[in-house]
Amino acid sequence: MKTLLDTHALLWLITGDERLSETAKKTFLDQENSLFFSAASFWEICIKKSLGKLSLKSGWIEAIQDEMKINAIQWLPVEMLHCAELTKLPFYHRDPFDRMLIAQAMVEDMLLLSRDSRLSDYGITRIW
């Protein structure tokens, strides 16, 4: 199954964070799954890092790239269709990065690996 990783999910997966659920770990390790990391999530990480809201060790960009390569996580760019889908979304959730992930999951017919239960309000399949 095609699975889009929420920003926190990728960070927690690669750092071994204890908040990661067993289902999330199994999904990540299942070779049958095609995993995707969105450009929107990378943008979110960069913004939070620049604002001092996210502390990352030096070499964090390379660490993300390495983990993507090792775990066959595919890059998902933000496309025009994804942006257009945003215009149809109700405002159950106001975070612009999460809204883009929702739009991408809808357009690309993907599951969304996220702890945020509010994302399920959009009718996508969220796993955690």
Query: pTM of the full predicted structure?
Result: 0.94
Rounded to whole angstroms, the Cα distance separating 114 from 99 reads 13
- Determine the straight-line distance between the first and last CA of the chain, rounded to whole angstroms: 15
Tens digit of each residue's pLDDT (9 = 90 or more) over 88-125: 999 998 999 999 999 999 999 999 999 999 999 999 99
> What are 10's two structure tokens?
């990728």
DSSP string of 54-94? S---TTHHHHHHHHHHHTTPEEE---HHHHHHHTT--SS--
Domains of the chain listed by start with CATH number:
2-127 (3.40.50.1010)
